[in-house]
Amino acid sequence: MIYMADTADIEALKNLYEFFPLQGVTTNPTILKQAGQPLSVAIEQIKAIVGDGMIHVQVMSENAEDIVREAKKYKTYFDLGDNYYTKIPVTPQGYKAMSILKDAGINVTATAIFTQQQALVAAKAGADFVAPYVSRLDNISSHGIDVVGDIAKNIIEYELNTKVLAASFKTVDQIYRVSMKRAHSATISPELLMQLIKHPMTDISVKTFLEDGQDLYDISF
């Protein structure tokens, strides 16, 4: 499982990168709004934290030619190299731009996916990652986990060079279930990433170890 942080909260990212084996950060206009940072500031700060990790930057343009120009600009402006992924919503113009950008050697993440067919078309258009929204599907009485599973199954069966980047989570259980559905990666909020590694029984076990070993560990280090 590839873990990525779905945030532009710089302090939260600094904390997570101290210990969590993250492989990148995903952003979008809503995340930037929540962080209160313009793109030029947020991505530079994220870049300083993630190093060689992936950075996924969403475009705002709607026309394919503008999407291509915008995506190329961000790669050079931030000097991101091969760890840069341009996030493109799965619209007709978005699909067109995906193919053009892949031919130009730019990594693509297809986003705002709600169906297996949207993801499959994006994969055929050359997307490196496809990002289905789990909780948003559940909110409209659909089945986000099952959609992720269907997409992952397609990728395996058709031997596509694409990874499922599951997104939009509200619970740790959802993350567990998409991992069991063979999702390749997940982008997760800092709050849920912290919950992911916590368990009260772990805390109790550590407390017991400290109490039991108090006078027994007699080797200085």
Task: Look at residue 141 and tell me whether its pLDDT is greater than 70.
Answer: no
- pLDDT value of position 7: 97
Residue 14 is a catalytic residue:
no
pLDDT in tens, 77-96: 999 999 999 999 999 999 99
What are the backbone dihedrals phi and psi of residue 173, each rounded to the nearest 5 degrees, phi first? Answer: -60, -40
Supply 206's token pair: 């550590």
Q: Which residue among 87, 102, 153, 198 is the active-site one?
A: 87
What DSSP character marks residue 60? -
Q: Write out pLDDT tens, residues 169-201.
A: 999 999 999 999 999 999 999 999 999 999 999
pLDDT at 138 over 90: no
Beta strands in 79-173 (DSSP E): 84-89, 107-113, 129-132, 163-166
CB environment 42-74: b (16+ within 10 A), e (fewer): bbeebbebbeebbbbbbbebeebeebbebbeeb
Given a contact cutoff of 8 angstroms between Cβ atoms, the answer to whether 114 and 136 are in contact is yes
pTM value is 0.93
pLDDT for residue 139 is more than 80: no
Name the token pair of 22: 């993250």
